[in-house]
Structure 1
Amino acid sequence: MTDIKSKFQRVMLIDDNTIDLYVTSAMIKKNNFGEIIDKYTSAKKALKFLKRNQDNFTELPQIIFVDIYMPRMSGFEFMVKYDKLSSDLKKHCKVYIISSSIDENDIKRANDDLNVVAFQVKTITKEFLNNIS
């Protein structure tokens, strides 16, 4: 049996809901989307990791999936801080907002953020992962 290479080396998941983290992580593994999956239940901790490693591209994820509604720091608050990170990091990482929200204002706000590639309603699907390049 040959190993199928994953589409991306590293994927970061930021979601305070551990069940959603588990389901998304399983979907990523099942579809060979990410080799290494960094899971964070805290946007603040994820941000610290990104800040600490912003010049170390082997540690940085190519894809970041971030939830909107989380305690202490929401996905939108995370994006405001993310915007202050290095431009090289922002070129390397593609951010997708993943949320159970179908609020038009949330979707518009996510789509208006220049650092957000797309908004996706939970849960992510095989088709959604296949469309990411």
Structure 2
Amino acid sequence: MKRVLLIDDDKAVNFFNKRVVVGHSGFEHIKTVQSGKDGLLFLEQVLSGNEIKPDIIFLDINMPAMNGWEFLDHYELFNEDFRSDIQVIILSSSSNPEHVKKSIVNYEVLDFINKPLSFSILDDVLETVNDASLRLANNK
């Protein structure tokens, strides 16, 4: 069972995606925040032991104040051991091929998927995350 942090500035998208994740049997806990800054603050709370560490972060790219790219710049400053078992997945309405390329080339992003979430997308996410976890375990 995977724990999720969903970062998206759109309340309606967060509401919908949270309902989809909660209804899927592969997930046990979901936290939603509405900005990259709030996502970073949440992760600081995880480090201090006040919140549950997510296994997956679904991250929107286009957000005001701190967009997804800025979040990733700050996120990658966290200790590598802390980040090693968190999978970041871009969840965006953008289908810009440059965004996909940028996310994979410049950041430790596992996947780039289009909104909204669905059960079949979550099934694929679980498979991708499990495959990545196996590769990571074999490389240790």
1:94 maps to 2:91: no
Matches within 5 A, 1:98-117: 98-117=91-110
Aligned pair in 2 of structure 1 residues 68, 35: CA closer, same or farther (>3 Å)? same
Once residues 102 and 93 of structure 1 are traced to their aligned partners in structure 2, the CA distance between those partners, rounded to angstroms, is 24
Taking structure 2 as the reference length, the TM-score comes to 0.82
Distance across 2 between alignment mates of 1:18 and 1:57: 24
Secondary structure of the 2:70 match is helix
Structural RMSD (CA): 1.7
- Range with bigger deviation, 67-76 or 47-56: 47-56
Q: From 39, 42, 48, give the equivalent of 2:32.
A: 39
Q: Percent identity?
A: 29
Offset, 1:58: 6.9
Q: Give structure 1 stretches of 5+ with no counterpart.
A: 1-6
CA contact 1:51–1:85 (8 Å) conserved in 2: no
Q: 1:118 to 1:64 in 2, by over 3 A?
A: same
Runs of 4+ in 1 over 3 A off after TM superposition: 55-58
**What one-letter code is carried by the residue in structure 2 that aligns with 1:111?**
I
- Long gaps (5+) in structure 2: 131-140
